[in-house]
Chains A and B, each alone.
Chain A
Amino acid sequence: SAVISQKPSRDICQRGTSLTIQCQVDSQVTMMFWYRQQPGQSLTLIATANQGSEATYESGFVIDKFPISRPNLTFSTLTVSNMSPEDSSIYLCSVVTGASQETQYFGPGTRLLVL
């Protein structure tokens, strides 16, 4: 398994501002992912951030709104830009690790409220 931490754990932000969420893993991983979970909903994949390549965004998500950095094999950031109340969600990072590279482990999440 992997130990994943996220900062901040929660934040309250004003509309129009931006927030950068950090994700730190205790081991080197190739695949990292960012998800959004809107209130009362399931998880939706925002993008895949593999080290050494540009992040791959899912339909409905764009780099200008959710820029991602992946500077090394243990760290990634997701920025939520020009926030609106609709961006209020839990943002989770995850990694794939293990010998078979099948199991995906999640961080504790960042709870964001935009006023």
Chain B
Amino acid sequence: SQQGEEDPQALSIQEGENATMNCSYKTSINNLQWYRQNSGRGLVHLILIRSNEREKHSGRLRVTLDTSKKSSSLLITASRAADTASYFCATDASRNTGFQKLVFGTGTRLLVSP
């Protein structure tokens, strides 16, 4: 399977703590994107990091990318109960110009308790 792996599968923390999720993938990529999904609803795009980038920030989110290890991490700082959701990484490894194919990881279920 080309599907990426995420760990942990589930993470339970208290409000105010930081949450770190990891994603590993198998092939060279153009970019890696992180998404959030609340209760089986649609996916919300969080952040995109390109293969030539090592770190990006967006608000309380910090994403790192290590292409030598084929891995990425998503850090959510000062978590809130509203951050409770499933988080997915997705890699774009398409080789054709004007074409994209995302391969999703297995997901991490995050529970933030008040």
Contact = CB atoms under 8 A, between A and B. Distances in A.
A24 interface: no
A23 to B, nearest CB: 11
Contacts of A44: 104
A102 interface: yes
Contacts of B3: 42
Interface string B9-50: 000000000000000000000110101000011111100101
Contacts of A4: 42
Interface stretch (A13-21, A66-74, A79-87, A105-113): A105-113
B100 A31 contact: yes
B106 A103 contact: no
B25 to A, nearest CB: 13
B104 A43 contact: yes
B51 to A, nearest CB: 11
A102 B45 CA distance: 12
A99 to B, nearest CB: 13
Given A42-B88, A43-B104, A101 B98 contact: yes
A51 interface: no
Nearest to A58: B101
A102 B31 contact: yes
Given A103-B48, A108-B41, A42 B107 contact: yes
Interface of A: 1, 4, 30-31, 33, 37, 42-45, 48, 90, 92, 94, 96, 101-109, 111
Interface of B: 3, 30-31, 33, 35, 40-45, 48, 50, 88, 90, 92, 98-107
